[in-house]
Amino acid sequence: MMSWLRPLASAGVLCALAFTAPQVAQAVDASDLLPVDQAFALTANASGNQQITLHWAIAKGYYLYRQRISVQAVAGMQADTLQLPQGEAHHDPFFGDVQTYRGQLTATLPGAPTGGIVQLKVKYQGCADLGVCYPPQTRMLNVALPDAAAASSTPDSASGDSGFGALGRSLSGAAAPGTDASPAGLADAQPLPAEQAFAFEAIVGDPQKLLLRFTPAKGYYLYRDKTSLKLTGDRGTTLGSPAWPQGTLHRDEHFGSVVVYFDQVDVPLPLVRTDAEPADVTLTATFQGCQTGGICYPPMTRIVALQLPAVTATPAAPVRATEVATSGPSSIPGRAATSVAPTTAPLANTADAAPVAAEDSRLAAALAGTNRWLALLGFFGAGLLLAFTPCVLPMIPILSGLIAGHGTRLGTGRALLLSLVYVLANALVFTAAGIVAGLLGANLQAAFQNRWIIVAFAALFVALALSSFGAFELQLPAALRSRLGAITDRQRGGSMAGVAAMGALSALIVGPCVAPPLAGAVLYIGQSHDPVFGGAALFLLAMGMGMPLLAFGAAAGRGMPTSGPWMTAAQRVFGFVFLGLAIWMVSRILPAAATLALWGLLALSAAAWIWSGATPTSRNRWLVRFAGLVLGLVGAAQLLGAMAGGSDPLQPLAGIAGARQPATALVFRTIKSNADLDRALTAARDAGKPVLFDFYADWCVSCKEMDRDTFSDPAVNAALAGFVLLKADVTANDAVDQALMQRFGIIGPPATLFFRRGNERRPLRLIGFEKSAPFIERVRSAAQ
């Protein structure tokens, strides 16, 4: 290619190709353009011993950039700042808002002479209205001061240089007669074709990651921030953020301080996959680079076809992409000052969520899609909906008890402030736990479901209850009473730090449920490695869940009486609320019958207090005592049900002979490890049966909802008649359990997966609780 490059350069044709703006549709005839020294005729003379005047005669249809003019006194003068007149304001698509000169330009360079002849190094750049820009020019001028022998000076360039000679020599590396050919000018080496100067390949490292390899030739460098990527071909696959390695900070005369790469650079590029099936996609990479000390290439585009393997537990072998097209001029390009700026749109993910995909995958794709900022608002709305689920509802009595249980009326403002502190602490810890789960695959909420942590947290609620009952003031020694009283007071309405601590603990211990929005945000973080945007989604989700808590907290502060018997009664009521929270916590680790018995004892205790200790007014005495009677009956029924082997506090007598018999429960085969699962899937595939695989834990509230309300439904049982039913009990959350969950990218239960012929039907994956009717439709789709 170099054999025909020099003739083109000398003939001037190359310049029209190299510096034509991308938007110019027709080629520019060489005869239409003047040589650079005719377009911008430069002269210089001394207007005194301490000032040199420089004059450019600018041809019609041409203009100079004010910002591209500089003059340096190499010898003979200690020069001051070059004085330029105000130019004409102009918006340039390459340089932005600039000033230009047309017709003529006179500039002055003041300074103190140190010799009789001043040697100047003058740099400037200009363009033609036809859409062609000349490369930066460097001229060496010798100006004789009035006392020197020399009378004048002219540019050290050849006169009579016709056509595109000077511009062609600049591109080819040859110096014009009398001009400077040092590194301040253009490079001596002939520039390579774009394909040789900047090699590019994409390697499929695993189903959820690409490796992009940029290889600049020796003497060339690549701009990091002038690179954009776009993926097409599969609506279920989107791009994450590229993980650029550390580059070299480079001061560029056109772009300022930029990061560049002089050697081969490998860039990992995560993929967000919403479907486990293989996919054919096309990657379009646009980038820009320069020759060291020479020309800069216009944006180059490479298009490669990629075959993504199915998402499995075992990574696939790396596969290099096949380049199917290359966009850009085949001739050696140069930087055009008036050309359209390089295509540097933000990293584009044009593939939206697949029309049929699991809910967590759709949410992850929404965060990576074009409407990602709108998706953040959707996460806030999802938080509002989750606020009234069993995983969040227990926080309402916790916060209300912390505020109202203090024993004094705080007022709406103070109560709202404390509620906000609780919600913010809860949201921050919730966000941090989600980011850790996405980046490291470690579920902090599941880690806090240790039986000793649960018992300790339940004991804290018991301590709060005893404080509300006045036990510390009446029954304990003074030293111990003061210590326990101080601890419990810090956890109640008077202490910001105590409320914040309870909010943080509530995020980790009270509500470990996994809902689709949480799973979607964690999936996005894990696949895109973007904890900032994914963390923002988690934070808004948590704030949405906390909005009702603000209302309940403010109501608790406003509704408390100021003094009198009602204050004492309210403290006692919240004492029973704290005991109920303690029972709810230990229900995760106790047998169901034992938990039912504790609920019964609590109800009977509340009934006894109402009948003996409460002091209602005559106006509502009958209502309060009727409530006590109901609580006594409920408590007795729950104790009787516990002794009969019952488990449901709302249906305590279901296990007694003659009562309604529970529906036939589904029989699941227990899976502990990945090896167990592989054997079961192989057996089901050989038998030609679909598989339902459920993740469960004793501390998972939604898991118990699924068992009680969905899996016990006779219609669900009938729909699952032909399925192999597998269940992984991850209550222990040990290394084997974590490996099993990490295999499928699951951060915690509940999760229900469907398999057909040994492969997961990823779009049918269920995260969280689902009622019987939609679950049956999901099962029918999995059976097809």
> Per-residue pLDDT for 452 more than 70?
yes
Total length of the chain:
784
Exposure string (b/e) for 494-530, b if CB count within 10 Å is 16 or more?
bbeebbbbbbbbbbbbbbbbbbbbbbbbbbbbbbbbb
pLDDT tens figures, 642-652:
888 877 788 88
The vertex-504 CA angle with 499 and 506, nearest 5°, equals 90
Segment 121-131 mean pLDDT:
87
> Per-residue pLDDT for 694 more than 90?
yes
pLDDT tens figures, 575-622:
788 888 888 878 877 888 888 899 889 889 888 888 876 555 556 677
> Per-residue pLDDT for 138 more than 80?
yes
Name beta bridge partners: 691.
Answer: 724, 755
Which residues have C-beta within 8 Å of that of residue 734, sequence separation ≥ 6?
none
Least confident stretch, 35-49, 264-278, 467-481: 467-481
Least confident stretch, 2-16, 509-523, 617-631, 694-708: 2-16
Segment 665-672 mean pLDDT:
88
Segment 428-438 mean pLDDT:
81
Which residues have C-beta within 8 Å of that of residue 456, sequence separation ≥ 6?
none
Comparison of pLDDT for 581 and 630, the residue scoring more: 630
The torsion angles phi and psi of 574, rounded to 5 degrees, stand at -70, -20
Segment 77-104 mean pLDDT:
85
Name beta bridge partners: 451.
Answer: none
Segment 708-736 mean pLDDT:
90
> Per-residue pLDDT for 69 more than 80?
yes
**Per-residue CA distances from 527 to 96, 208, 268, 540 (Å):** 37, 7, 12, 20
**Per-residue CA distances from 413 to 401, 551, 553, 558, 758 (Å):** 17, 12, 10, 9, 58
> Per-residue pLDDT for 631 more than 50?
yes
pLDDT tens figures, 744-777:
888 778 899 999 888 888 888 888 888 999 999 9
Segment 322-334 mean pLDDT:
40
Tokens at 582, concatenated: 């303690």
The rounded distance, in Å, linking the Cα atoms of 756 and 681 is 9
Comparison of pLDDT for 92 and 487, the residue scoring more: 92
Q: What is the pLDDT of residue 683?
A: 92
The mean of the pLDDT values for the chain is 74
The answer to whether the CB of 347 falls within 8 A of the CB of 228 is yes
Segment 151-166 mean pLDDT:
39
Q: What's the pLDDT band for 689 if we cut at 50, 70, 90?
A: very high
> Per-residue pLDDT for 655 more than 90?
no
The torsion angles phi and psi of 91, rounded to 5 degrees, stand at -100, 115
Q: What is the pLDDT of residue 515?
A: 63
**Per-residue CA distances from 254 to 82, 84, 196, 301, 342 (Å):** 20, 20, 24, 21, 12
Segment 708-719 mean pLDDT:
90
Q: What's the pLDDT band for 409 if we cut at 50, 70, 90?
A: low
**Per-residue CA distances from 345 to 93, 194, 226, 534 (Å):** 14, 21, 9, 21
Q: What is the pLDDT of residue 555?
A: 75
Segment 663-676 mean pLDDT:
84
Segment 301-310 mean pLDDT:
86
Q: What is the pLDDT of residue 758?
A: 85
Pairing assessment for the beta strands 117-124 and 70-75 based on DSSP bridges: antiparallel
Least confident stretch, 19-28, 210-219, 336-345, 683-692: 336-345
> Per-residue pLDDT for 511 more than 60?
no
Checking 703-711 for CB contacts under 8 A at 24+ apart, the result is 703/749, 703/750, 705/390, 705/769, 706/750, 706/752, 706/769, 706/770, 707/665, 708/648, 709/769, 709/771, 709/772, 710/769, 710/770, 710/771, 710/772, 710/775, 711/665, 711/666
Q: What is the pLDDT of residue 95?
A: 67
- pTM of the complete model: 0.46
Comparison of pLDDT for 161 and 666, the residue scoring more: 666
pLDDT tens figures, 6-38:
333 333 333 333 333 333 334 445 566 788 888
Q: What is the pLDDT of residue 240?
A: 79
The residue with tokens 């990651």 is: 209
The rounded distance, in Å, linking the Cα atoms of 685 and 423 is 48
Q: What is the pLDDT of residue 360?
A: 63
Name beta bridge partners: 300.
Answer: 287
Comparison of pLDDT for 501 and 327, the residue scoring more: 501
> Per-residue pLDDT for 546 more than 70?
yes
